Amino acid sequence: MFFNNKVTLTVKNLFDEWLEHIAITAKRSTVNTYRIIAENHILPLMSDMPLYKVSSSFLSDIVKNKLNNGRLDGKGGLSAKTVQNIVCVLKAVFSFAEKVHNMRSPADVVPFPKCERKDIEVLTDEEVSTIREYCESKEDYFSVMYELCLATGIRIGELCALKGNDIDYVNNLFLEEFESFCRISNLIINGTNIIKYSDDLLSPIQVSFTLNRNNPKEIYAVEDYAKAADRMMKFSGVDAAFTLGYVDDENIHISARSGKKVNVGHIMQAMEGQCGGNGQSAGGRITSDDIFKVEQDLMDRVGLGLSDEEDIIEEPPVIKSKQIRKIKKS
């Protein structure tokens, strides 16, 4: 149902139009998410307001209010990420109004709240085992859902949208995950060397180098090399991990990971080719027909790099209060 009278068109009318429109192409779960955001956080504040009265300053005030006092239980503000989702809906619905009703969108200048970037926390092998043991001791739908998430990496929205006739999709997820696990395990078991670097260092640093030594020309996906490096970092005593392999007939990909002791970004930047990254995660691509030479160059570069202060990540020195007072006096 579409309304043509801009004077009588309300925000509620606009949302009904928009949800009906996007339902043609969007997933049902997506439409439901938008509807919940609108019903909980937007429509209660301006459901019956005529569309032409909605201003940018009014929408900005709503965003500020949600950050400070937006929780439905009245216990404070919403997270910046939740308010970002609200702003996304506002921008989308008023962009729709701009196209359909030939009006200027008041949401264009409404800013997104700034979100603090948080490190992604990954379950350890022990935590995964604990969850699986619990699931196996239960016989309910939730345990099956947890098992599917652990085994396939499927997202919550995708999981909730599964139907009985999607069994082939689920089987393929299991198969792909199993095949990936086997490829990476074979690469690590048959192709990993761990080198101990101990020049003038207080404690030796152990670095792993992984490649397919039986069939060095075999081509893997880039994500396989990254997963192999990530998995090597879980081994006790490994301070940095490098995985090498071909992604086509000429180009070798390198994935590099480290803990707190080695700056793999600086090491990769010193290699020839398109290489770079940060202190704990780096990578690159090098054109060569001799992967073992590239590995040796990388080993040499690691050895040289660990003798440079900038390639060893150290904790910042702790300055005591007495030292601070001395600094101020000087």
Which distant-in-sequence residues (6+ apart) come within 8 Å of 301 by Cβ? 267, 270, 271
- Give the model's pLDDT for residue 102: 86
Helix (H) / strand (E) element for 159: namely: helix 156-160
What are the residues facing 244 on neighbouring strands?
A: 254
- Give the model's pLDDT for residue 29: 79
Residue type for position 322: K
Which distant-in-sequence residues (6+ apart) come within 8 Å of 134 by Cβ? 143
CB-CB contact of 146 with 135 (8 Å) = yes
- Note the maximum CA span of the chain: 80
Exposed/middle/buried for 216, CB within 10 Å: 0-12, 13-18, 19+? middle
Single pTM value for the model: 0.46
- Give the model's pLDDT for residue 309: 44
- Give the model's pLDDT for residue 311: 41
Chain-centre distance of CA 152, in angstroms?
Answer: 16
Instruction: Residue 305: name the closest of 330, 259, 268, 257 by CA.
Output: 268
| Average pLDDT, consecutive stretches of 10 residues, N- to C-terminus, the chain (330 residues) | 59 94 86 92 93 92 92 89 93 92 90 77 84 83 82 78 70 72 84 80 81 90 91 88 92 91 87 84 92 92 64 38 38
Domains by residue range for the chain, with CATH: 11-100 (1.10.150), 185-311 (3.10.310.30)
